[in-house]
Amino acid sequence: MMMHQWMQWFGADEVVFKLPAFVFGILLIPAIYWLGCVAYSKNTGVLAAAIAAFAPDAIYYSQEARPYTLTALLCCLGMAFYLKLLKSPRQRMNQLGFIVCGALLLYSQYTGALLIVSLGITTLYLWWRPKTIPLIPFVGVFGAIGVLFLPWIPVFFDHLAIGSPWAPKASWLFRPVIVLSQLLYAMLIPTAGSFFTAAVLTIALILGVRQRRKLSDPFPKKLLALQPTTLVLSLNVVLPATMLAILSYDTYRYMLAFTPAAWVIYAHGLEMLLHTVNLKWKGSLGNLQRMTIWGTLIFFLVVPSTIDAFFAGTAKSGIRAIAAEMQTQPQDKTLYLLSPDVFGPTFGYYFANTRPTFHGFARWNHPEFFSPRDYAPLWDNPTLLPDTMQRIQTLASQGYQTLALVQAKGTVADGGTLKFSRANTLLATLKQRYPLLNKKDYPARKEPIALYLFSLTPL
């Protein structure tokens, strides 16, 4: 809804189109700083903000016209307001902030509901076990979020009925692996800085246990308290990861929303490590030497994660390169066929002004308007391939001379219950019937493309 209105106001230029995601990604940095300050200290906030600024996926999705940076921002702000509610459950501004963030989160992306559910579980635990919080104020704020979401409930159930047939369902034996994978992702373990991240977490754990047993150690108590703050942050990383695994969502983009809590925990461990270095070496090292050590630690523990972001390439779809080439080439006698048709929205966006003739396999007409409704039966249609070949032949008889097949590079695999692999059969059939004039690859991070140019004069 927001992006529709945005395009109505400002148009669909690529920079303008992606600007909201970029702004939300930038705002995530001060938001996670605030979360770190609320949870632990200003130093933790600074380190957490540095992690957010250099996190590869935070950078990547800030360049995508998707809701992922918005949901991460709302999750971050929502958790900060929740932590403040734990200290002052009846403070009106904290209640209002949490309600607004929670409601916007549900409207932005359905997986945001996982945070609401996990915070609800956390609230019940804190009320039942330590009995440190009153329950009524929290029932009120969670109830208010539900009431604000009521107008969207019919649409939600409609979407729920359609489901996501393109998402493969993992076996239940594999789902614990998904949980572990999501947790490692949240703690930056899959990145280039994985060794250093794991080292910090291990050292921080050892320090925490050691300092709890040595209360006489001159270590600030606020750095050590395994308090509701730490419990809340930990639960709201582990519980969403577990629920994503139950839903069989093994892609990291859904976990991104819950990573701010993990980054704050990581930053707190880093703060503990740096403070220990300062205490142990204060008498034997000068200020410049200690600053050098701190700077080196921060560099190796935070900055290495940027390697993935800066050296993995910036092109996300090969269709953009195809569009750039087509601006200088005649298109009147060329038929474009997208196989599979999931490239339709991207293709339609880049060709919004030039509008060549293009169709999709399996959705022949208007593949740029993707809709999951009745999508799976298209791929199950037993006459899909002969129908497509007949349509190509009909257009050839109307004067089209060449066919440009835009296909996923390499062997196309099925997507969940969708038989995308039938695109491989289509390519083989086209090679048997029409002369292949040229083939060109367009590498990209997410959508590598191969362009096959066929003459529509049969062999």
**Helix H segments across 40-67?**
42-54, 56-61
Residues 308/54, Cβ–Cβ less than 8 Å: no
249 shares its domain with 384: no
pLDDT tens for the 459 residues of the chain, in order: 665 566 566 665 667 777 888 899 999 999 999 999 999 989 899 989 988 888 888 888 888 878 899 999 999 999 999 999 988 888 889 999 999 999 999 998 888 899 999 999 999 988 887 667 888 899 999 999 999 999 988 888 877 777 676 677 778 888 888 888 888 888 775 444 455 555 555 555 555 445 444 444 444 444 444 467 888 899 999 999 999 888 888 788 889 999 999 999 888 887 877 777 666 666 555 666 666 766 666 665 555 555 555 544 456 778 888 877 876 766 678 888 998 988 888 877 777 666 677 899 988 988 888 777 778 888 889 999 999 999 999 998 888 889 999 998 888 888 877 888 999 999 999 999 999 999 999 888 777 889 999 998 876
Pair (364, 260) in one structural domain: no
Domain boundary, last residue among 311, 339, 368? 311
Pairing of strands 449-455, 436-442: antiparallel
What SS3 class is residue 402? strand
The pLDDT value recorded for residue 220 is 47
What span, in angstroms and rounded, lies between the C-alpha atoms of 125 and 243? 17
The verdict on 68 and 168 lying in the same domain is yes
**Contact of 119 with 71, CB cutoff 8 Å:** no
Residues 304 and 412 in one domain: no
Domain shared by 164 and 267, yes or no:
yes
Q: Do the strands 334-339 and 358-360 form a parallel or antiparallel pair, or are they unpaired?
A: parallel
Residue 420 maps to which CATH number?
Answer: 3.40.50
Looking at the structure of the chain, the number of domains it has is: 2
3-class SS of residue 266: helix
Local structure of 155: helix, strand or coil: helix
Element (H, E) at 233: helix 228-246
Identify whether residues 91 and 232 lie together within a single domain: yes
325 shares a domain with 300: no
DSSP code, position 224? T
Residue position matching structure tokens 């493309």: 449
Return d(Cα 95, Cα 90) in angstroms, integer.
7
Q: In whole angstroms, what is the distance from residue 318 CA to residue 60 CA?
A: 16
Whether 273 and 322 map to the same domain: the answer is no
Whether 347 and 295 map to the same domain: the answer is: no
Query: 415 in helix, strand or coil?
Result: strand
**CA 427, 428, 429, 433 torsion-angle sign:** positive
Q: Are residues 294 and 440 in the same domain?
A: no
Query: Which one of 311, 337, 362 terminates a domain?
Result: 311
* One domain, residues 61 and 183: yes
Q: What pLDDT, on the 0 to 100 scale, is given for residue 260?
A: 92
| Calpha distance 183→225 (Å, rounded) | 22
C-alpha–C-alpha distance, residues 71 and 254, integer Å: 9
Which domain range does residue 345 map to? 318-455
Picking from 311, 338, 366, the residue at the C-terminal end of a domain is 311
Indicate if 276 and 322 belong to the same structural domain. no
Chain-centre distance for alpha carbon 229: 25
